[in-house]
């Protein structure tokens, strides 16, 4: 596990964006899992900026989504379908044939739909890099506390705390009761996980997920089971970590030596550790 701590949220978003950009440059047909929510907006803005300034090419990138609200039409301002178009897709040269977003209004029954979505991912070769955020109650995707650590893609009932936090963004619409989400077991099948957490309000749950016991009641703690994880945190989100000094040491090594632009890629570094200084 590689933990990078930055001074500001803006720097965290910039570094996370550069990491994703590096992965795309090294693997043009990257299979990329997208996450919605406030936290990754800055990451996507950085990808858009890199597309405009460096011609970062999305033409062959295959895109998948982590979750979606059930019952919202895709053109709803609160749907994640709309979110991804607003913050990323409308501004880059992606191929619509390579876009696979979860559908909250699937015509087939939800169980069959979820099975077919996982089959689609497997048939595409699996997800190379999955972007993640973390909810204040520890949810990953919409895997709420109590979700099985080996759960699969399914319909999930949103918790009261999640609905409360979402209500601020839902102006005229009611927050849906249900969502469809990739399960914790399905998420861990990605080759590498990139989790971004920013702000003091995430500090307590980040510490529980990263350094606390593995627990179904802290769904994000399931990342401890994955062999290749990168966490990008700002100072405030990292504020409750007991091992913060070591993570800052890791961060210094990466940032001073620009390891995310070198071989091995940051996805390999997350699994095997930082290469020695020459």
User: Alpha-carbon distance 6 to 121, whole Å?
Assistant: 33
Residues 6+ apart with CB under 8 A from 252: none
Please state, in angstroms and rounded to a whole number, the distance separating the CA atoms of residues 258 and 68: 35
Establish whether 139 is a catalytic residue: yes
* Strands (E) located in 1-92: 2-6, 31-34, 62-65, 67-69
Active site residue 171: no
Taken as a whole, the chain contains a residue count of: 278
Catalytic residue among 11, 128, 144, 234: 144
Q: Which of 51, 81, 87, 139 is catalytic?
A: 139
> Pairing between strand 129-132 and 192-197?
parallel
> Which phi and psi (to 5°) does residue 51 adopt?
-65, -40
At 47, list the tokens: 């990808």
Q: Which of 103, 137, 243, 257 is catalytic?
A: 137
Q: Which of 11, 46, 51, 67 is catalytic?
A: 67
State yes or no: is 67 an active-site residue: yes
Is residue 137 annotated as a catalytic residue, yes or no? yes
- Sort strands 67-69 and 178-181 into parallel, antiparallel or unpaired: antiparallel
Active-site residues, by number, are 67, 137, 139, 144
């Amino acid at each position: 596990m590689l933990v990078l701590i930055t001074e500001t949220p803006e720097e965290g978003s910039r570094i996370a964006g550069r990491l994703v950009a590096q992965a795309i440059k090294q693997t043009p047909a990257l299979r990329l899992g997208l996450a919605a929510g406030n936290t990754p907006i800055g990451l996507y803005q950085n990808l858009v900026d890199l597309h405009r300034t460096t011609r970062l090419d999305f033409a062959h990138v295959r895109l998948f989504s982590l979750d979606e609200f059930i019952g919202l039409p895709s053109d709803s301002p609160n749907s994640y379908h709309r979110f991804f178009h607003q913050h990323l897709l409308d501004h880059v040269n992606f191929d619509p044939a390579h876009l696979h977003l979860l559908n909250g209004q699937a015509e087939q029954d939800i169980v069959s739909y979820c099975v077919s979505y996982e089959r689609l991912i497997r048939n595409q070769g699996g997800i190379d890099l999955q972007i993640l955020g973390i909810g204040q109650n520890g949810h990953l995707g919409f895997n709420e506390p109590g979700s099985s650590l080996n759960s699969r893609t399914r319909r999930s009932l949103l918790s009261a705390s999640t609905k409360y936090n979402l209500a601020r963004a839902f102006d005229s619409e009611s927050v849906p009761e249900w969502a469809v989400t990739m399960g914790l077991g399905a998420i861990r099948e990605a080759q590498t996980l990139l989790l971004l957490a920013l702000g003091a309000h995430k500090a307590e749950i980040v510490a529980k997920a990263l350094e606390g016991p593995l627990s179904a009641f802290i769904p994000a703690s399931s990342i401890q089971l994955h062999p290749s994880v990168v966490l990008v945190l700002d100072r405030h989100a990292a504020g409750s970590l007991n091992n913060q000094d070591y993570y800052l040491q890791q961060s210094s090594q990466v940032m001073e030596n620009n390891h995310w632009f070198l071989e091995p890629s940051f996805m390999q570094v997350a699994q095997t550790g930082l290469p020695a200084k020459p």
